[in-house]
Amino acid sequence: MTWQLFQLLVTAAGLTVFISAVSIMIALVLGTIVSVVTLSPKPAFALAGRTYISFFRGVPLLVQLLLIYNLLPVMGIDLPGIVAAIIGLSLCTAAFQAENLRGAFASLPRGLVEAAEMAGFSAAQILRRVRVPIAFRLALPALANEAIFTLRASSLVSVVGVVELTRTAQDLASSTFLPLQLFAAAGLLYLLLSWTIAALGHVMERRMRWGRV
């Protein structure tokens, strides 16, 4: 394998980073909303949230990606593969992040919420200023872990025609007959990216260590 081939893989890894980063961000926002909806006192809301989590965690990501990629044109929405890929990856990751956050919301110290109530915070203020920030901190290790899963799962978007790291390795492997070297190199790049996310997670954990809950 030449240096040139490796550089092609590194360039393609840029797209993998982009797709994963955007999906991780969207999934954090969407996952927070879904977990709050799931914990709603209104049974219909809670059921909708639970169904979302159950469906997107229960169906293989590959099937979800194929479904979204093929469903959108049928519905008259014509989007490039990369958008379908980000939508699919975000919806699925959001379900896992919602489940992680649900556990964190459930283990919030009751006293903190009561203190905020006593201080005259409205329900919305308590959610924004007390429950969400603390739940995020409690769930941080699980959230970071899921982000690493998202990075690895992003290799599946290669099946909907997005030429990211896995697809590039595949294309190069079939044209150069060097599958061993190319897939090993791609694996190495994924490993480095996984470690980067893990390191970022640790940095955030350290920075968010204000006070004790």
Partner 1 sequence: MSFDIGLIWSRMPDILGGFGLTLVIWLVGCLAGIALGFLVAVLRRNVAGLNIPLAAWMEVTRGTPFLIQLFLLYFGGPFIGLSLEPITAGLLGFTLYGAAYFSEIFRAGFAAVPRGHIEAGECLGLSQGQIMRRIIVPEMAVLVLPALVNMIVLLLKETAVLSIITVPELTMMISAIGSENFVFVESLFLLALFYWAMVEIAGWLGRQAEVKLASFRPAT
- Interface residues with partner 1 (CB under 8 A) are 54-55, 57-64, 66-67, 70-71, 74, 148, 152-156, 158-159, 166, 169-170, 173, 179-180, 183-184, 186-187, 190-191, 194-195
Q: What is the nearest approach in angstroms of partner 1 to the Cβ of residue 25?
A: 20
Residue 16 has which token pair? 């993998």
131 residue type, one letter: R
How many angstroms separate the CA atoms of 16 and 24, rounded?
Answer: 12
Sign (positive or negative) of CA dihedral 207, 210, 212, 213: negative
**Which of 82, 156 has the CB closer to partner 1?**
156
Q: What DSSP assignment string belongs to 11-47?
A: HHHHHHHHHHHHHHHHHHHHHHHHHHHHT-SSHHHHH
* Angle, alpha carbons 205-23-98 (nearest 5°): 65
Kindly state the smallest distance separating residue 15's Cβ from partner 1, in Å. 14
Given the complex with partner 1, which of 34 and 36 has the nearer CB atom?
A: 34
Q: For partner 1, which is the closer residue by CB, 19 or 126?
A: 19
To partner 1, the closest distance from the beta carbon of 137 in angstroms equals: 23
Between 121 and 183, name the residue whose CB sits nearer to partner 1. Answer: 183
Longest dimension (CA), the chain: 69
Shortest approach of partner 1 to residue 91 CB, angstroms?
12
29 or 180: whose CB is closer to partner 1?
Answer: 180
Provide the minimum distance between the beta carbon of 172 and partner 1 in the complex, in angstroms, as a whole number.
12
d(CA 18, CA 116): 39
Q: What is the CA 110 to chain-centroid distance, rounded?
A: 29
Termini Cα distance of the chain? 52
We find the least distance from the C-beta atom of residue 66 to partner 1, in angstroms, to be 5
126 versus 169: smaller Cβ distance to partner 1? 169
